Structure 1
Amino acid sequence: MYSFVRGMVRVFLLTAVVGAVVVCGTILIAGGEPKPTLVATNLLGQNEWQAGETAYVRITTTDVDTGKPAPGIPIKAMLYKGKAPEKGDGSPAFRASAKTDGQGSLSLPIQTKADMRGAYTLVVLSGSDKPDRIEQPVKIVSKSRIMLATDKPVYQPGQTIHIRALALRPTTMEPVADTKCTIEVEDSKGNKVFKQPCATSKFGVFSADFTLATEINQGTYTVRALLEDEKTEKAVTVERYVLPKFKVAVTTDKPFYLPKQTVKGKVQSDYFFGKPVSDAKVTLKFATFDVAFKDFAEVSGKTNDEGFFEFEQQLPDYFVGLPLEQGNSLVKIEASITDGAGHEEKSTTTVPVADQPIRILAVPEGGVLRPGLENVIYIMASYPDGRPAIWTGSARPTAKSGREDTKSMQIASDELGIAQVKYAPAAGGFALHVEVGKVLGRDIEKYRSIEMGGAGETVAKADFNLPVNGTPDETLILRTDKAIARSGAKVGLTIISTKKTGSAYIDLIASGRTMLTRTVDVRNGKASTDVTLPPDVAGTVEAHAYI
């Protein structure tokens, strides 16, 4: 399943070029001057392009002696299938000419055709009289995203598996139409039991039906969809099963617990035609998890005339925190009910167990802190079951941060449980101490929130050692004015840098493809610009900045 919505774009902030290649060269420009100018030429871009879309490469020219941009340098770019000819221009698949701008930069769009595949060579000629020649191999591929689905997760022998798939281009989310594809099925022992060639419709949809035999290998089957160079798999279970006679539901009085607290709850059992399962035998098993689940208590009894059974069980005073549960532990409650006819049904639920009633998390705006700049640190508080908590409290750097100023800053969260603090850390590391003093209650029926703490009290606290990357001489922070934008909308980008003047480069990358590049002037350590997102882009867009 895809986590994005058509027409919506999520903007992520990074400060490095990912998956890019950098090729450098030098040329001499006489230009009528007594002494020739030595110019360094850099070529930056992805080494893998999507067929049928526009790829962007950045070419920069810099005066080697002064380190300043060299404007007005003639640039000639050609794209060849396979290797480029050693002499002459030959017959390139793409050709363009331009000059670097006043900042010594050129953003060159290269439009690839839908039928272009395989290895190509990009040739860049920098200069006019004796141009410097830069060659960079690139690979043009045709990628797609396939969403594969079946009508249900479990099948019995003799039933039919209905298979359906949707193929979209990763960046534009356009359907992959009229393209050959294949659907395969493997049984639990790896035997290929079904294979059907097919073609996508104009909407990018393809499907197949596979009827299981009555006597087959049972277990986990693999359904596979193949399209161009892409492959997607889905596992389904094939086994004989009996439909349940009645349903069992287990509920607890709290969404989470602390060690030593008492779990109170109810078990409700009803036949599917509505009648309660009365006077049925109930067995509850309570288990904690370490390397495996281990039972620590068992409660038994019978349901009343309405199919209810109430229970209480005190928790142990020791639990093992689980990394996958962000340090929380959990209690598993397994309910087994046997009715008067001897039919048994089971239901299992898990409840979080935490060492504190509030969980605290601190995240720098860029993932890591940048030295010499004022960084925003987001502090989030939530209940152990993940619901946000509205809170007030304090944050202060500790002695480990190396700061002389360790005064506390009073902070308050928004409706999502997120508060902000701003600090300018030094190089090395940064230690932060956070305390939640009061948690505000909300609509109990909707959020099951609990008001905790008060003046002079501490509900929860945590210490964080946040990484600080970079050097104070040359580092930057990139910010956007929004985290979610619509396709075709404007997004404001702001760069804050310890470098007071110069040029900064911005790239927008979606699905590994550079979709936009821009050069901005840094003045007094700050630069800002607005970029318009392409109307055909959807999903996650990464904003990269570098100096």
Structure 2
Amino acid sequence: MSYLHSRRLRILLPLVIFLFGCFNSSPPARPMTAERARVVVMGEFEHLAPGSTANFLVQVRNPVPGRAEQAGLAGRAVDVFLAGQERDAPLFSGATDADGLVAVSFETPDAGADPNQALVIRAATDGRETVVTQDIYLGRAYDVLISTDKPVYQPGQVIHLRALALDTLDLRAAGAQTMTLTVADPQGNKLLDKELATSQYGVASTDFTLDAQAASGDYRIEATIGPTVATRTVEVKPYTLPRFEITFAPEQSFYLPGETATGVVEARYFFGKPVAGGKVTIRGSVTDVSTETIFEVTGETDADGRYTYAVPVPDFFAGQLDNKSAQVDLTIEVVDTANHLESIDESITVAEKALLIDAVPESGMLRPGLANRVYLDVSTPDGAAAPATLTITGRTFPTMTATTDLYGLAVITLTAPDQRYIPLEVTATDAAGRQVTQPLVLGGVTGASTAVLMRPERSEYKIGETANIDIFVNGRARTAYLDIIKGRQTFGLVALPVVDGVAQAALPI
């Protein structure tokens, strides 16, 4: 993942939070069957981890034909149990409040031999009993990392395999669990199928010896624990160890179309002696539909094993790299005086502009009628942050100025119109005096009667801290529902009153 993408993700709350706005205290339902017309279930409970606390909301409604949202029914009994269990021993029993809502909470039991279960929600509706059944997975899920001692093997060598498993819910080691490790050849034939018990640290390991006549290609390694299957591949092929090392040192980290790319190629034997008099070939290629060679240069290393190259960057990149960069792939070959050839693959970065500018709304899309924060990122084509002064103009807002920090980030606030696309133009000037003007288009949410924007106080929290969250609402909604999910399971769902267009939550981490 690029550094830019990593920073974008850190802007968002690391927890997965789903937000629902509603009218008259009636939350919008997920797609329901006819049986669920009178009972609405909110929250994620299709995957429940034994020993954890399950949380979700149930609303009992009084359906009236022709109305999208119906009034809740107060004082109605709601029971939750696993299919096949005795009804007189439910996991949860409660009654709805004045809005027809009941917060369901119970400790998740063990599944026994079969983790595939069905959760039954029984509610007393208007003059009848309604039963909603949801298939669930009642068990733990895991994150698995497979590692090997090296990425490439020769026939007859031993592959040392190891897999580490962590519980996705609490990130503890999955100790004393059954894990199956398999190895398959390029044709899919299973060569190893071994069942192992993980250690107290969640580790399982084994060795697999390749046949001396093993076919060349990618071998697939698979680790299975519970419902989780992780894979990786290693390459098997005959090879010889290189006799000397080639290093590539470009003079610049990126180039503009039409410039000359310069740098040094150096070859040196592993015992330290330079590869003097070596024949050097550098081929540059680009890939679109097919791979095309765009230049080739040749030369010879000097007494120090160095060759200084100079190659033209093609002009045909001009007009094709608006606010982005491209790679020219290089194949570098060196043949020493003993006629031994070694090669490496490298690349150079090409961009049409010296600065790249991007803009990202805090929620991904601009919410109409609300003050949206927009994060502006300025970087050089090689990915380095570029501190710069910005001028932002647009048809729907006054001209603004901003200055990026050391990480190339700046923040502005836009009150978005009800439009699908909102154009703006950003002019950036860096400390070196380079100036770039970039038109951008931000996406907007349209057609919604209520716009909702969630803003946490910070992007990261530590255990024990409190996450303060503001929920801005533009519309007639009186209640917002905040759902907190981790590992596909709801751990908190609260109804928040909207006062003067804002609902607030304080969540202990």
Question: Is the TM value for this pair above 0.5?
Answer: yes
Count of residue pairs the alignment pairs up: 486
- Relative to 1, partners in 2 of residues 1:157 and 1:193: Cα closer, same or farther, differing over 3 Å? same
Q: Could you tell me which residue of structure 1 aligns to residue 93 of structure 2? A: 97
CA–CA distance in 2 between the matches of 1:126 and 1:306? 87
CA offset at residue 496 of structure 1?
A: 0.4
CA–CA distance in 1 between the matches of 2:203 and 2:31? 36
Alpha-carbon deviations, 1:339-391, whole Å to 9, x = none? 11111111221111111111111111111111111111111111111111111
- For residue 300 of structure 2, what is the amino acid of its counterpart? K
Q: Could you tell me which residue of structure 2 aligns to residue 202 of structure 1? A: 200
1:489 is the counterpart of 2:487: no
Q: Could you tell me which residue of structure 2 aligns to residue 460 of structure 1? A: 436
CA–CA distance in 2 between the matches of 1:111 and 1:326? 52
- Relative to 1, partners in 2 of residues 1:141 and 1:352: Cα closer, same or farther, differing over 3 Å? farther
- For residue 305 of structure 2, what is the amino acid of its counterpart? G
CA–CA distance in 2 between the matches of 1:462 and 1:377? 16
Q: Pairwise CA RMSD of aligned residues?
A: 3.1
Asked if the contact 1:361/1:379 (under 8 Å) is kept, the reply is yes
- For residue 76 of structure 1, what is the amino acid of its counterpart? V
- Relative to 1, partners in 2 of residues 1:306 and 1:204: Cα closer, same or farther, differing over 3 Å? same
CA offset at residue 102 of structure 1?
A: 6.4
1:523 is the counterpart of 2:499: yes
Q: Could you tell me which residue of structure 2 aligns to residue 150 of structure 1? A: 148
1:314 is the counterpart of 2:316: no
CA–CA distance in 2 between the matches of 1:293 and 1:19? 50
Deviates more, 1:58-67 or 1:107-116: 58-67
Asked if the contact 1:391/1:412 (under 8 Å) is kept, the reply is yes
> Where do 1:113-512 residues align within 5 Å?
113-116=109-112, 117-126=115-124, 132-142=129-139, 143-319=141-317, 327-398=324-395, 403=396, 405=397, 407-440=398-431, 451-453=432-434, 459-471=435-447, 473-499=449-475, 502-512=478-488
CA–CA distance in 2 between the matches of 1:43 and 1:330? 50
- For residue 496 of structure 1, what is the amino acid of its counterpart? F
Alpha-carbon deviations, 1:256-282, whole Å to 9, x = none? 111001111011111112221122111
CA–CA distance in 2 between the matches of 1:172 and 1:24? 37
Q: Could you tell me which residue of structure 1 aligns to residue 83 of structure 2? A: 81
TM-score (norm 2): 0.87
Asked if the contact 1:11/1:484 (under 8 Å) is kept, the reply is no
Q: Could you tell me which residue of structure 2 aligns to residue 32 of structure 1? A: none
CA–CA distance in 1 between the matches of 2:363 and 2:310? 46
Asked if the contact 1:220/1:235 (under 8 Å) is kept, the reply is yes
- For residue 132 of structure 2, what is the amino acid of its counterpart? E
In structure 2, the residue corresponding to 1:318 is in which secondary structure? helix
Asked if the contact 1:157/1:214 (under 8 Å) is kept, the reply is yes
CA–CA distance in 2 between the matches of 1:388 and 1:434? 20
CA offset at residue 166 of structure 1?
A: 1.3
Asked if the contact 1:221/1:238 (under 8 Å) is kept, the reply is yes
CA–CA distance in 1 between the matches of 2:381 and 2:18? 30
- Relative to 1, partners in 2 of residues 1:382 and 1:108: Cα closer, same or farther, differing over 3 Å? same
CA offset at residue 15 of structure 1?
A: 4.2
- For residue 115 of structure 1, what is the amino acid of its counterpart? A
CA offset at residue 249 of structure 1?
A: 0.9
Deviates more, 1:515-524 or 1:328-337: 328-337
CA offset at residue 132 of structure 1?
A: 4.4
Asked if the contact 2:284/2:331 (under 8 Å) is kept, the reply is yes
CA–CA distance in 2 between the matches of 1:360 and 1:13? 29
- Relative to 1, partners in 2 of residues 1:520 and 1:157: Cα closer, same or farther, differing over 3 Å? same
In structure 1, the residue corresponding to 2:317 is in which secondary structure? coil
- Relative to 1, partners in 2 of residues 1:131 and 1:168: Cα closer, same or farther, differing over 3 Å? farther
CA offset at residue 112 of structure 1?
A: 1.6
- For residue 191 of structure 2, what is the amino acid of its counterpart? V
CA–CA distance in 2 between the matches of 1:487 and 1:75? 36
Q: Could you tell me which residue of structure 1 aligns to residue 57 of structure 2? A: 58
Asked if the contact 2:43/2:483 (under 8 Å) is kept, the reply is no
CA offset at residue 517 of structure 1?
A: 1.1
CA–CA distance in 2 between the matches of 1:349 and 1:361? 27
Deviates more, 1:494-503 or 1:148-157: 494-503
Deviates more, 1:44-53 or 1:58-67: 58-67
Q: Could you tell me which residue of structure 2 aligns to residue 513 of structure 1? A: 489
CA–CA distance in 2 between the matches of 1:437 and 1:390? 9
Asked if the contact 2:254/2:350 (under 8 Å) is kept, the reply is yes
In structure 2, the residue corresponding to 1:461 is in which secondary structure? strand
- Relative to 1, partners in 2 of residues 1:22 and 1:532: Cα closer, same or farther, differing over 3 Å? farther
- Relative to 1, partners in 2 of residues 1:80 and 1:286: Cα closer, same or farther, differing over 3 Å? closer
CA offset at residue 334 of structure 1?
A: 2.2
- Relative to 1, partners in 2 of residues 1:229 and 1:63: Cα closer, same or farther, differing over 3 Å? closer
CA–CA distance in 2 between the matches of 1:192 and 1:106? 51
CA offset at residue 286 of structure 1?
A: 2.3
CA offset at residue 100 of structure 1?
A: 4.1
In structure 1, the residue corresponding to 2:111 is in which secondary structure? coil
In structure 2, the residue corresponding to 1:286 is in which secondary structure? strand
TM-score (norm 1): 0.81
CA–CA distance in 2 between the matches of 1:248 and 1:26? 67
Asked if the contact 1:13/1:478 (under 8 Å) is kept, the reply is no
In structure 1, the residue corresponding to 2:180 is in which secondary structure? strand
Unaligned runs of 5+ in 1: 4-8, 28-39, 441-450, 454-458, 534-547
CA–CA distance in 2 between the matches of 1:321 and 1:275? 46
